[in-house]
Each structure stands twice: as C-alpha cells, then as structure tokens.
Amino acid sequence: MPNSSPDLAADAVTILRDLIRIDSTNDGSDATVGEAAAAEYVESLLAEVGVDCERFSTTSGRRQGVYARISGHDSSRPPLLLHGHLDVVPAHAADWRVPPFAAEVEGDMVWGRGAVDMKDTDAMILSLARHWARTGERPARDLVILMLPDEEAGGRHGSHWLVDNRPDMFAGVEEAVGEVGGFSLTVAENRRLYLIQTAEKGIAWMRLIAQGTAGHGSMLNDDNAVTEVAEAVSRLARHDWPVCLSPTAERMVAAISEAYGIDIDLADTVALRDQLGPLARLIGAGTRHVTNPTMLDAGYKVNVIPGEATAGVDGRFVPGAEDEFLAEVDRLIGPRVRREFESHDVAIEAPYDVPLVEAMTQALVAEDPGAMVAPYILSAGTDAKAFSRLGIRGYGFSPLQLPPDLDFASLFHGVDERVPMESVGFGVRVLARFLETA
C-alpha cells in the first residue's frame, strides 16, 4: 500500500481545511457561487502534481466540478468511479461554537461546514491522487474521479446533468464509491462495527396544495384552505409507518443485533432509542417510510381567509415500495389536497456479496483488527442515484474510525460539524489499501 507516513494524512487534513474555508454553500438557488472556487482549487491541486483533469461547467459558469481519470495496473478491467461533492448546506454562524468556514482545529478535530459532508472524503481522494502522481504508484484499476456541484440540492446542476450531457465521463464504469459509509460504531473495547452503504431510500419532496374559498376572517367558512392543508399535514406527521425492510435493511438489522447481542425492537421507536441510543435514528429511518412536514405557507393578513394554502413535506421511501408509499400518502392527505413533487428520485440498492465490498472489508480489518462489517441503508440520498440511471451500482465508503462518544450521525447538516484528524488519517490509509486491490 502507499506509504502511510504522516505526509499522506497531513496532506488530506490540509486539503480538508482549505476546502472548508471556501464557502461553497448551496441553498438550492442559482445564486450558488462557491462551487466554482472549490473546483478551481481542486484543479490546481491536481495540476500541481501533473494529473490531467478537466474543470467543467454544468448549467452555468457558477456550477462547476472537476473530472480526472487515473490509470491503474489493469486497464482491461472496468474503471471504478470515485465521486465527491463540493457544495455544502447553509450554516448559521450564530449557532456555532466556531465560525463555520474558518476550518479551526480544536480538540484534535477539524471544525467547519463540510467537515463530514463531505469535504473530508474529497480530501482523502485528492490526497491519494496526488500521492500516486508524486510516487508513480498506481491503484489496481483505472479510476474515474469526479468532484461535483449541487449534490445538496438534488444534483440537477451536477450529477444528473452529467448523466444527461456528458456520458463520456462514465465510459465503462459499472461500480461507484461515494459518501456516507464505512464509519465506525463502537460495540465494545477494541471492537467496532463499520457500516458500508449499499442502499438509499427514495426521495419524494412534496408540495401539498389546498384550494378553498377566500373571504373575511370574521365570517363562517367551511371551505378553508388552511384547515385542509393543516389537517393533511397533521395526518402525515402522526402516521405510524410500519416496518418495511429491504434486503439491505434485513442484513443490517441482523448484523447490529448480533454485534450488540440484543433483539432489536424495530416496531417500538422508544424502545429502539433505549437499546441503541443515537444509532436508533440511523436504524429507524432506514427501516420504514418517513413523511416529515417541513414548511407551511398561507395568507397575507390575519383577518383574510386565503384561497390557497400549501405545505412542504420531506418523504422518503424504502427500496421496492414506492407505489405503496405514494398510495398511502394520497389516502392520508385526502381528496381535497393535491400533491406535487418538488424533488423526486429513485431508491437504489446494490448487492453486498461482491468483490468490491470484500476489498472494503479486507482494508478495514487490515487497519483495525477489531473491525466487523455490515451493510446499511441510507435514509438520505447521494449522487449515486443519478449514476444508477446508467446502470452503475453505488456504494458508500468513506472510512472513519471514530471516538465512541461522538454522535456522528448528528453532525451531517448539523451545528458544530467536525471530524477528528486521526479519523481522516485512518480513512486515507483504508482507502489506499482498498484501491490497491479493488
């Protein structure tokens, strides 16, 4: 494997801090500008060591990413896609202990928006690409590296645009590796469970719309749009979605039950929290559909009944169960409320018993002899959804060995996002071993 001296880890940490300092906030509007600055920085990192790359624009000059192809030992094999995104969600500085774009180091951790989602993984990938260029070492097979814009807003300006307009970038690719997988959960002293992401729930961001009769707020009105949409939202929010297990979720639950020596009660969310603590959020969200109201909008004056009221709902559905999910949503909102998709994307599921996952497992065990490995289903979504349209199987593998007391799941899009520097060093070593054999 590549030399695991501090230089490789130090380079990854330096790149991570530099990326965090580039405010690449993506608020879902066309005003996003930081992605272009981040792409320019990535291009300079690769060009500095002689890696040929392309800085590309998608829907405008503000939406940019970087493409590179690294030659491996065996170019006859299908190339492996490594993808990361350069954008981050907004951060309200007043809520943070440290400035969210200062990349401060405190408590042996790098703090800042993007530290775990996902500029840490971007930095690991880039540090390895630079190492190979400097030393002449190579991965096992050709790699396609993509650093993308717009993942945090659904990829319309990023991965989906590339699939539609630049399929040449994906020539020969059958498998892809991206974010949100390979992080550790401490089971006991010197015993950790690493979850490799092999599935993602589908996305159904919905706008609920109710029409009613506008009028004076002092009058009787039994056709009130606000009432209709509020009742629909309440029914969705309070609905007890039953357990619905995909093949990945079944294996995930079995592995966690074995690792912790407990019988997991998925039907009782309170008991699940008592059994697993913060891990319960991860497990619970992956084993049933979810409908969370997030927005309400109606009216313009307190004494005027509006003719229309709307609500936003974040819906996520289990792989293989989209039709039943949407049918139940329609039943719950009722005939007087209609729904429209704000964003709609597929659920995906990749096989677990494949050589790629075995290479991940071997790399983890080599660096952590106490490692146990299992698949899991991500309740959110990644750019892997877009690549699935080309038949590319997607996996989440951003390896991090984490302190047992760190509530890692809460840091994604959370306040005071941070990652241990030692975890970044561990991750880049594991990725190096993995790509040496994958």
DSSP collapsed to 3 states, the chain: CCCCCHHHHHHHHHHHHHHHHCCCECCCCCCCCHHHHHHHHHHHHHHHCCCCEEEEECCCCCCEEEEEEECCCECCCCCEEEEEECCECCCCHHHCCCCCCCCCEECCEEECCCCCCCHHHHHHHHHHHHHHHHHCCCCCECEEEEEECCHHHCCCCCHHHHHHHCHHHHCCCCEEEECCCCEEEEEECCEEEEEEEEEECEEEEEEEEEECCCEECCCCCCCCHHHHHHHHHHHHHHCCCCCCCCHHHHHHHHHHHHHHCCCCCCCCHHHHHHHHCCHHHHHHHHCCCEEEEEEEEECCCCCEECCEEEEEEEEEECCCCHHHHHHHHHHHHCCCEEEEEEEEECCEECCCCCHHHHHHHHHHHHHCCCEEEEEEEECCCCCHHHHHCCCCEEEECCCECCCCCCCHHHHCCCCCCEEEHHHHHHHHHHHHHHHHHC
Residues whose CB is less than 8 angstroms from the CB of residue 319 and which lie 6 or more positions away in sequence, other chains included: 199, 200, 201, 202, 246, 248, 347, 348, 349, 377
Q: Which amino acid is at 49?
A: V
pLDDT (mean) for 285-298: 95
Query: Residue 264: what pLDDT?
Result: 84
Q: How does strand 191-200 pair with strand 348-349?
A: antiparallel
Structural contact between residues 224 and 311, judged by C-beta atoms closer than 8 angstroms:
no
pTM of the model: 0.92
Query: Residue 29: what pLDDT?
Result: 80
pLDDT (mean) for 94-120: 97
Choice between 121 and 410, residue whose per-residue pLDDT is larger: 121
pLDDT (mean) for 386-411: 94
pLDDT of residue 269 exceeding 80, the answer is: no
Query: Residue 4: what pLDDT?
Result: 46
pLDDT (mean) for 339-358: 96
Query: Residue 361: what pLDDT?
Result: 97
Average pLDDT over all residues of the chain: 94
Query: Residue 277: what pLDDT?
Result: 77
Choice between 13 and 258, residue whose per-residue pLDDT is larger: 13
Query: Residue 70: what pLDDT?
Result: 97
pLDDT of residue 178 exceeding 90, the answer is: yes
Confidence of residue 284 (pLDDT cuts 50, 70, 90): confident
Domain range summary for the chain, segments of one domain joined by +: 6-186+355-365+373-437
pLDDT (mean) for 20-46: 93
- For residue 85, give the nearest of 121, 109, 43, 124 by alpha carbon: 121
Choice between 394 and 272, residue whose per-residue pLDDT is larger: 394
Say how far apart CA 49 and CA 127 lie, in whole Å: 11
Query: Residue 5: what pLDDT?
Result: 47
Confidence of residue 323 (pLDDT cuts 50, 70, 90): very high
Say how far apart CA 124 and CA 126 lie, in whole Å: 6
64-73, 179-188, 227-236, 387-396: least confidently modelled range = 179-188
Tell me which residue has tokens 């590319």.
392
Phi, psi of 150 (to 5 degrees): 70, 15
Choice between 267 and 50, residue whose per-residue pLDDT is larger: 50
Confidence of residue 3 (pLDDT cuts 50, 70, 90): very low
126-130, 253-257, 277-281: least confidently modelled range = 277-281
Choice between 269 and 327, residue whose per-residue pLDDT is larger: 327
Structural contact between residues 237 and 293, judged by C-beta atoms closer than 8 angstroms:
yes
Choice between 4 and 32, residue whose per-residue pLDDT is larger: 32
Q: What count of Cα atoms within 13 Å lies in the side-chain half-sphere of residue 284?
A: 20
pLDDT (mean) for 146-168: 96
pLDDT (mean) for 329-356: 97
Query: Residue 128: what pLDDT?
Result: 97
Query: Residue 6: what pLDDT?
Result: 52
**CATH architecture observed for domain 6-186+355-365+373-437:** 3-Layer(aba) Sandwich (3.40)
pLDDT of residue 47 exceeding 70, the answer is: yes
202-206, 233-237, 269-273, 362-366: least confidently modelled range = 269-273
